[in-house]
Amino acid sequence: MTALADLREGLRFDPATTTAFEACRMAQLDLALEDPRVVSVEADLGDCWGLKFRESMPDRFLDFGIAEASATGAAAGLAMSGKRPFLNTFGTFALMRAAEQVRLDICYHRAPVVIAGMFTGIAAGFSGPTHHAIEDLAVARALPNLTVIAPADAVQAYDATRAAFAHNAAVYLRLGVEPGPQVYDAHEPFEVGRGRVLRQGDRLTIVTCGVTIVPEVLMAAERLGDVEVVDMPTIKPIDRELLVRSASRTGRVVTVEEHSAIGGLGSAVAEVLAEHAPVPLCRIGLPDAFVKEIGDYAEQLRRFELDAAGIERRVRAWVS
């Protein structure tokens, strides 16, 4: 097998330009070099950002074409046979088109498949409502035995991918395909089920997750002043202890996510607060509608007030 140094030649991990999906694929490549059980199952991505996986390990690179259901079933079968597959596809196709296979083949059998979903949220831009993944978290959260993770940047995406593999269970990784501002300065152990306070404050708590949105929330928080920002990369199981502690101290909570306001992070937080720390809650996300408007990613974020300026406006309006 080609040495890691040779495989990584020309592949530099630069947090400023590396996307979360690229970072995930780098982690997959590293894990494959470390563990012969690792297999890459693809759904017509053509080794898109696969780096040199197909080139170096063709017998462990399986491309099923535009047949997400078949790829999902195969990934489950490989996992039940002792392999450790990563299923690489669009987030919306994994949790919508192949929902039955994810539910019955992977989750029901507790098959240790890591689903790496790309183009999540409204990052698909010009592809329209067929490619936007604005309901994936709601579907994933409802599936038994499925862990749900949405990293905040490329650094965390790499660490979360390795943690998902070590978790040895069914995992859905929600990944972005646009390079975003760096949130985490260095690689550190990623603990499934744990959130992190990125900014301390006393006036209210903002809970958020995901590439692009976490950096936008941090910029909005600087303008808002005395607010706490909690990154909640593991949406299921969610960090109840951290949520209750922060909400009980600040007395108000806002959730921000690039997902429908129904069923995603905001709903997960609401469930915890309703049971353990009832405080006023504002859920900021996408409306209960298809995203039919066409435009690039930055334009879409501005349109739905999920950029820093929009988040600031919506939080100020709610507080006042």
Q: What is the pLDDT of residue 44?
A: 76
The pLDDT of residue 186: 79
Rounded to two decimals, the pTM is 0.94
pLDDT at residue number 50: 53
Given a cut of 70, the residues of the chain with pLDDT beneath it are 1-12, 46-51
Residue 5: per-residue pLDDT: 44
Q: Would you state the pLDDT for residue 229?
A: 98
pLDDT value of residue 51: 58
**Residue 13 burial (10 A CB sphere; 0-12, 13-18, 19+):** middle
- Strand spans (E) along 134-280: 146-149, 170-174, 196-199, 204-208, 227-231, 234-236, 253-260
Report how far residue 58's alpha carbon sits from residue 53's, in angstroms, rounded to the nearest whole number: 7
Residue corresponding to tokens 């994936």: 136
Domains along the chain with CATH numbers? 13-174 (3.40.50.970), 196-319 (3.40.50.920)
In this prediction, residue 46 carries a pLDDT of 61
pLDDT of res. 314:
98
